[in-house]
Amino acid sequence: MKKHRGLLSAGISSMLLLNLFGSMPCPAVNAETEQTVMLGDVNSDGSFNSADAVMMQSYILGREAQGFTLGNADFDGNQRIDVFDVILLKKALIGYISENFYSEAGYITQEYTEVETEYITFKIDENIYVRNDLALHADRIYEAIETVTGMSFTDAPYGKRVVVNVSKPQDTESELSTGYAIGDEAYISSGDLLIDNDYAIIHEMIHTLEARYNPYYSGKTLSEGFAVYTNTLVLEYLEEHYPDTYAIGWSTIEHDMNHAVEEDIYDQSLEYWMENGYPHGNGLYGVGRMLLAYIHETKGDFTSWISARDEIGYIAGKWIENEDGTTSYEDGFTVDMQLELLKNVYGDDILDGCYDWLKENEADFMYQYDLSTWVTRDFTGIEQYDLYPSFYAGGNVINLLRKDIPVVYSNLTVNIGPTRFYLEKYKGYDASGIVLNVNEECQLALYDKDGNLLRECSGGDGISLEDVYKIKLVGDGTATKFTITNYTKEAS
Ligand SMILES: [Ca+2]
Ligand SMILES: [Ca+2]
Ligand SMILES: [Zn+2]
């Protein structure tokens, strides 16, 4: 299991106990054996959590308690283990967890945890950061997916409640690894949990929606095109109805909609690209997105093929080894089958007008591809934004701006309580000396933990954030820079 250096030491347990119960003897080290005592860790697995409470209970009741460590259980230090130690352990556990693993913004799971929202069951591994408002945003995404597709997760032929499994990449700072869907369940990484980059949760939930109408993968062009195109519609829906959720889900664009349609697409037929792969803009994902957008706008529907799929049949896909040693997935639902399906549903001429349509609309696709042409992100409808660091493969960064795209704001409060908690308690950084770098023309009001105004000032580089938990960008303006720096990994 993973744990955070410094959080689980005897010293911290003892300190907490002292806070809670006054001057209580809490031996930190047993001198005879030189064994570190971690008060509360009665099963000696290095963590203090609910498993210890369970074992303590068993021990007191005279039940099986293999591995019970007396030295870690004597909370009142009277050399006896009794019911008073049980009470103290439970109190200490609550204090310990709230001090170290909970904040206003979120919590870190201490064991496998199931979170039930109105629509979704999250199955979350231990030691994963979960924002407190996960349910709010996730259920809005669910609503958006159902609304823009006109489909239902629960009333589909293979309908059931949505399950999203969340795990953490092992032995890496990155919070992102591959997201995928197996049949009707989605699998995402910790960073996709509406915190770091979040693209997989939307994309994979859409895959599981398709699977509820048609249990097999319909090939990259159709299944990925459906996921990616639906994701664009989901974002439009969120932007209109829930600007704060849109602001979080926006970064989906970086990954999932970053597809180009280049001039050379017209050199070959669409069937050719579907068969041989299109070299730009994430290959068949981009072709699929374009195809689904075309079908939607010209036929008024982009989902009918899903239910009609069974008529075509199914061949299992397979993983093949490439020359460079990587593996890739070869569709079982071949291009011929995909085209036959579309023709069955939309008519034999379905692809005929596709390139003409694309020529008129290609700016939409170019636009998404080159994010430098994205002029600004509009935060004016948002009063509060919880800022989380990004820990993705390739770099750690705290930046309100994604891809350096300016943020337009109107009295926007950026909460950095989550930033601090995430850095210190989840990632093990020392964030006590963090500073803000923001445009000089921005006017700032800095607030403490309790919302009291600490000071007002203009922007600049290296602005101390000591005791600051909220940064208000006052008035109307545009930030072309907003980074938080000067956090360091605690020495190990
Ligand atoms: Ca333990
Ligand atoms: Ca005792
Ligand atoms: Zn996918």
Helical spans, DSSP H, in 314-436: 335-346, 354-369, 417-421
Q: What is the pLDDT of residues 150-179, one digit of tens each?
A: 999 999 999 999 999 999 887 678 888 778
Ligand 1 centroid to residue 76 C-alpha, Å: 18
User: What is the pLDDT at residue 286?
Assistant: 85
* Domains of the chain, CATH where assigned: 10-101 (1.10.1330.10), 104-213 (3.30.2010), 218-372 (no CATH), 377-489 (no CATH)
Q: What is the pLDDT of residues 406-417, one digit of tens each?
A: 999 999 999 999
User: What is the pLDDT at residue 157?
Assistant: 94
Ligand 1 centroid to residue 39 C-alpha, Å: 9
| Rounded-to-integer distance, Cα 136 and Cα 138, Å | 6
Neighbouring CB atoms inside 10 A of 259's CB total 23
User: What is the pLDDT at residue 14?
Assistant: 33
Q: Smallest Cα–Cα separation from 117: which of 94, 137, 147, 89? A: 137
User: What is the pLDDT at residue 256?
Assistant: 56
Ligand 2 centroid to residue 24 C-alpha, Å: 11
Angle separating helix axes 83-101 and 10-21, nearest 10 degrees = 110
Q: Smallest Cα–Cα separation from 143: which of 54, 238, 74, 211? A: 238
| Rounded-to-integer distance, Cα 382 and Cα 415, Å | 12
Ligand nearest to the CA of 41: 1
Ligand 1 centroid to residue 181 C-alpha, Å: 34
pTM value?
0.83
Ligand 2 centroid to residue 37 C-alpha, Å: 15
Report in angstroms the alpha-carbon separations of 91 from 9, 73, 97, 159: 18, 13, 10, 43
Ligand 1 centroid to residue 111 C-alpha, Å: 11
What are φ and ψ of residue 153, in 5° steps?
A: -65, -35
Q: What is the mean pLDDT of each run of 10 residues along the chain (492 residues)?
A: 30 33 34 64 88 92 89 90 92 86 89 94 95 95 98 96 92 80 88 81 94 90 94 93 90 64 87 89 85 95 94 84 85 92 96 93 66 76 92 81 88 95 92 96 96 97 97 97 92 55
Ligand 1 centroid to residue 4 C-alpha, Å: 14
| Rounded-to-integer distance, Cα 159 and Cα 145, Å | 15
> Residues whose CB is under 5 A from ligand 2 (ion)?
74, 76, 78, 80, 85
Q: Is 395 helix (H, G, I), strand (E, B) or coil?
A: strand
User: What is the pLDDT at residue 243?
Assistant: 92
